[in-house]
């Protein structure tokens, strides 16, 4: 299947087939002409000015006034740019100094007790204290925003929470936009999603359900809505992405109540309820019946079933439909003709149809035109925030005035799509032939674990409770300086390699002295565990300015997985072999697994994810083979993203876990029985993927456990996990040095669940963010703890 037909197939549906060309007929005079909008926009500015201003403020180099001025300037520029592109309505209130969910907590007065004094003393400093913590005061917990790589601050609520309305930020930003002459639509996190994202505050019973606070929260939303109307808002967007997850009947009832009450308000703007990231499912009929004035729906990818679902419930008579046909979270150009087909069908389903992105553009970089180092033949396939805005405007024009008014754009788009579909980058016959030829035997190891472990024990000769680390050692300033110098041309490759080898010597010698059993080279050459491999695999693109907010002032530049993946040369063999040449103890080879390579990149949308994962797995499989051939007896394939990539709806999870675990096994199953495969994941909650962890068929798994008091060990035991495991005993997220005694206690707890011959001793995760001083003592203590416990068995 070519990429264009794949994209068309994913969007086609029975209802649109008969209307495929009707988009060329302008809409009738009676109905409003389709408008254009986006659901939200990146906040950082073209040069990440916001990051600089906020961090400068934290360091005392930027005053509060200067920070506010920078922020206002960025909002002004964003709106102007959107309006200049031809957008009819701009979003406001989606700007944030740190996080929009935290802004919502401020808006409804849900300030945790421990932060109240700080917020009262200085709202801005108190805000940052909630986000980042202060001396002895913990910040709010942070977690992933649905299945994106954006992280929000989790609201903390309890039965005693008293909500109070503070609409100041929303009102001020709306006024700014109106004063500049824009048609503006404030964006709020909806009340149901806000409560569903919250968790019980510290000290509140764990089974407390924040959604029980709905009746208390709605009057606060009513007040904010009234204030926004008074300030001139015609429409307000209420984001309810939590509705695309599986919801209980009780939650759907709460949803119905929420919008019945808000809809019944007399003093309010028109309400647009937005959902995105997946299909609405059971929540769709609830929202269709609710007395709100419009819905914004996602019509991209798997969410495009929203179209048939909407038709099935009779559409949105009398209401506004904001049609998210431009994918707000990938980096690829839209198939404009296919979108026009979808839109033409939608015209028959609502009174007013506007064209939009599927979700906020927060999740994509700003402007692909800034990527001057990329081959222009590749840039034409890319659409970042700016290009997506243009696509929305083009589609609205084509829909409203006829496709002939955008004929040139459509022709260019067709050519761009064709160039992508037929490119040697997206179609590498050798890669495709190999992928098709994968057999069952390729994804299965020759011997079962019970037999392999005997062979591995003979080869490795490890003591019981062997000690190891997760891979990285501290990334020192010298390493970062050397990398910067290499990039700037001040240091040549040879000089840089020398610097890396020196670091490896130090890391290996430390581990030998500390008495660790399975050593690592320390990953000094890796800036980032995905980017390092992406830069070495054909089919991946790197951007220079493609920054996307991860959380607060942290931005990442995800690589773009654009084409068929192959490995022109070994990627890690030289560093691993060098480390092994320095010691008689086994050195563990370290790779990033296929699922994580996908999860932390922008992936192609022209073939199933499972196929892309398989290509990455095949490239990594060659790396595993080369490591083994070079004498590596232990190879770790990290999959920290396995769980976070779980589809939002339970029904979609088995298929995902199937291809994900198969890709891991394809990466690792080609080795000899006496080569030991490790994997690593860093989270303490994975009850829902235990089966999948077993399906990986790794010999050893290391997991995060120190903070959760070894709960994972119990979970593994309860699931009868049959292989070796290293629940972390050293919390690497804190600079604190754990004592040998406390790690001994943790190992004792672990031993209640995992027998000694299958228990490994290791930290929770890699050490790259820590300092050498803490790492040294912590690892010495870790080895001491292992020895103490071993002593009990001999």
Given the rule CB under 6 A, which residues bind ligand GLN?
470-472, 523, 529, 590, 638, 640, 680, 682, 765-766, 768
Nearer CB in complex with Zn ion: 36/679: 679
Q: How far is the CB of 760 from Zn ion (least distance, A)?
A: 14
Tell me the HSE value of 462 on the side-chain side, using a 13 A CA sphere.
Answer: 30
Tell me the HSE value of 695 on the side-chain side, using a 13 A CA sphere.
Answer: 17
Q: Phi and psi dihedrals of 606, rounded to 5?
A: -100, 10
Point out the residue whose Cβ comes nearest to ligand GLN. Answer: 766
Q: How far is the CB of 530 from ligand GLN (least distance, A)?
A: 10
Exposed/middle/buried for residue 434 (C-beta within 10 Å: 0-12, 13-18, 19+): middle
Q: How far is the CB of 525 from Zn ion (least distance, A)?
A: 18
Residue 604 contacts which entry, Zn ion, ligand GLN, none (Cβ below 5-8 A, type-dependent)? none
Q: Contact at 8 Å (CB) between 357 and 388?
A: yes
Nearer CB in complex with Zn ion: 196/470: 470
Which residues, numbered 168-227, are part of the site for Zn ion (CB under 5 A)?
none
Does 733 qualify as catalytic in the annotation?
Answer: yes
Q: How far is the CB of 53 from ligand GLN (least distance, A)?
A: 29
Q: Phi and psi dihedrals of 423, rounded to 5?
A: -70, 150
Residue 173 contacts which entry, ligand GLN, Zn ion, none (Cβ below 5-8 A, type-dependent)? none
Q: How far is the CB of 463 from Zn ion (least distance, A)?
A: 24
Strand partners for 352: 320
753 binds Zn ion (CB under 5 A): no
Nearer CB in complex with ligand GLN: 182/680: 680
Alpha carbons 398 and 392: distance in angstroms, whole number: 10
Q: How far is the CB of 520 from ligand GLN (least distance, A)?
A: 8
Nearer CB in complex with ligand GLN: 269/766: 766
Which residues, numbered 7-36, are part of the site for Zn ion (CB under 5 A)?
none
Task: Name the active-site residue from 363, 678, 709, 733.
Answer: 733
What 3-state class would DSSP assign to 586?
coil
Q: How many CB atoms lie within 10 A of CB 726?
A: 28
Nearer CB in complex with ligand GLN: 74/530: 530
Among 273, 325, 597, 765, indicate the residue that binds Zn ion (CB under 5 A): 765
Q: Contact at 8 Å (CB) between 332 and 605?
A: yes
All residues at 6 or more sequence positions from 573 whose CB lies less than 8 Å from its CB, including other chains: 623, 626, 627, 630
Residues in the chain: 794
Which residues, numbered 633-692, are part of the site for Zn ion (CB under 5 A)?
640, 682
Tell me the HSE value of 367 on the side-chain side, using a 13 A CA sphere.
Answer: 12
Q: How far is the CB of 638 from Zn ion (least distance, A)?
A: 7
Exposed/middle/buried for residue 645 (C-beta within 10 Å: 0-12, 13-18, 19+): middle
Residue 768 contacts which entry, Zn ion, ligand GLN, none (Cβ below 5-8 A, type-dependent)? ligand GLN
Nearer CB in complex with ligand GLN: 409/526: 526
Nearer CB in complex with ligand GLN: 149/170: 149
What are the percentages of helix, strand and coil residues in the chain, rounded to 5? 50, 15, 40
Q: How far is the CB of 624 from ligand GLN (least distance, A)?
A: 15
Nearer CB in complex with ligand GLN: 239/638: 638
Q: How many CB atoms lie within 10 A of CB 498?
A: 13
All residues at 6 or more sequence positions from 767 whose CB lies less than 8 Å from its CB, including other chains: 469, 470, 472, 473, 474, 732, 775
Residue 472 contacts which entry, Zn ion, ligand GLN, none (Cβ below 5-8 A, type-dependent)? ligand GLN
Exposed/middle/buried for residue 694 (C-beta within 10 Å: 0-12, 13-18, 19+): middle
Please identify every residue annotated as catalytic: 733
**Which residues of this protein are in contact with Zn ion, per CB under 5 A?**
640, 682, 765
């Amino acid at each position: 299947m070519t990429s264009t037909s794949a994209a068309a197939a994913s969007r086609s549906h029975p209802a649109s087939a008969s209307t495929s060309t009707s988009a060329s007929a302008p809409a009738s005079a009676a109905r409003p002409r389709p408008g254009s909008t986006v659901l939200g926009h990146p906040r950082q500015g073209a040069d990440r000015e916001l990051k600089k201003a906020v961090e400068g403020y934290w360091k005392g180099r930027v005053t509060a006034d200067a920070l506010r001025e920078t922020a206002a300037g960025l909002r002004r520029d964003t709106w102007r740019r959107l309006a200049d592109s031809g957008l009819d309505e701009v979003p406001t209130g989606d700007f944030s100094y740190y996080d929009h969910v935290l802004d919502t907590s401020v808006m409804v007065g849900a300030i945790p007790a421990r932060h109240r004094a700080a917020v009262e003393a200085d709202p801005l400093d108190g805000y940052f204290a909630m986000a980042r913590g202060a001396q002895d005061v913990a910040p709010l917990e942070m977690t992933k925003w649905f299945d994106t790589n954006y992280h929000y601050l989790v609201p903390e609520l309890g039965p005693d929470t008293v909500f109070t309305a503070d609409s100041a930020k929303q009102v001020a930003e709306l006024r700014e936009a109106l004063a500049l002459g824009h048609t503006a639509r404030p964006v709020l996190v909806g009340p149901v999603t806000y409560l569903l994202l919250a968790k019980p505050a510290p000290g509140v019973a764990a089974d407390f359900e924040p959604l029980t606070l709905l009746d208390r929260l709605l009057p606060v939303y009513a007040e904010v809505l009234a204030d926004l109307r008074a300030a001139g808002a015609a429409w307000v967007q209420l984001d309810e992405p939590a509705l695309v997850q599986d919801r209980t009947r009780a939650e759907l009832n709460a949803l119905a109540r929420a919008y019945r009450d808000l809809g019944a308000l007399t003093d309010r703007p028109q309400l647009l309820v937005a959902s995105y990231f997946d299909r609405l499912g059971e929540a769709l009929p609830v929202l269709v019946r609710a007395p709100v004035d419009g819905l914004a729906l996602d019509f991209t990818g798997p969410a495009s079933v929203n179209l048939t679902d909407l038709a099935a419930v009779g559409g949105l008579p009398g209401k506004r439909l904001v049609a998210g046909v431009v994918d707000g979270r990938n980096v690829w150009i839209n198939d404009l003709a296919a979108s026009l087909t979808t839109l033409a069908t939608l015209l028959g389903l609502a009174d007013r149809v506007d064209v939009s992105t599927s979700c906020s553009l927060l999740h994509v970089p700003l402007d692909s035109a800034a990527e001057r180092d990329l081959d222009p033949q590749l840039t034409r396939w890319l659409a970042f925030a700016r290009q997506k805005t243009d696509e929305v405007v083009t589609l609205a024009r084509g829909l409203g005035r006829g496709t002939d008014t955008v004929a040139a754009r459509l022709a260019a788009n067709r050519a761009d799509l064709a160039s992508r579909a037929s490119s040697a980058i997206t179609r590498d016959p050798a890669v495709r032939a190999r992928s098709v030829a994968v057999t069952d035997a390729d994804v299965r190891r020759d011997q079962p674990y019970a037999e392999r472990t005997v062979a591995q024990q003979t080869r490795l000769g490890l003591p019981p409770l062997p000690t190891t680390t997760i891979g990285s050692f501290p990334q020192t300033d010298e390493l970062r300086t050397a990398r910067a110098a290499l990039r700037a041309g001040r240091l040549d490759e040879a000089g840089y390699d020398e610097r890396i080898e020196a670091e490896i010597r130090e890391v290996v010698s430390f581990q030998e002295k500390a008495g660790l059993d399975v050593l690592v080279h320390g990953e000094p050459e890796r800036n980032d565990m995905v980017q390092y491999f992406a830069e070495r695999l054909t089919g991946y693109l790197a951007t220079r300015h493609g920054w996307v907010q991860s959380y607060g002032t942290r931005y990442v530049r995800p690589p773009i997985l654009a084409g068929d993946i192959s490995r022109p040369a070994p990627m890690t063999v030289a560093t691993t072999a060098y480390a092994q040449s320095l010691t008689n103890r086994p050195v563990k080879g370290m790779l990033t697994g296929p699922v994580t390579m996908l999860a932390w990149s922008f992936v192609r949308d022209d073939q199933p994810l499972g196929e892309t994962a398989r290509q990455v797995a095949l490239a990594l499989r060659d790396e595993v083979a080369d490591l083994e051939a070079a004498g590596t007896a232990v190879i770790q394939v990290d999959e920290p993203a396995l769980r976070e990539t779980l589809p939002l709806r339970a029904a979609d999870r088995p298929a995902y876990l199937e291809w994900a675990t198969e890709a891991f096994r394809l990466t690792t199953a080609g080795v000899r029985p006496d080569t030991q495969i490790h994997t690593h994941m860093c989270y303490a909650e994975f009850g829902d993927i235990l089966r999948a962890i077993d399906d990986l068929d790794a010999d050893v798994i290391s997991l995060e456990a120190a903070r959760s008091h070894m709960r994972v060990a119990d979970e593994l035991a309860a699931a009868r996990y049959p292989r070796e495991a290293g629940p972390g005993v050293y919390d690497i997220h804190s600079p604190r040095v754990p004592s040998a005694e406390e790690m001994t206690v943790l190992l004792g707890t672990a031993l209640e669940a995992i027998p000694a011959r299958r228990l490994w001793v290791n930290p929770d995760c890699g050490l790259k963010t820590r300092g050498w001083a803490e790492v040294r003592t912590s690892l010495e203590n870790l080895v001491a703890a292992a020895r103490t416990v071993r002593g009990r068995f001999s």
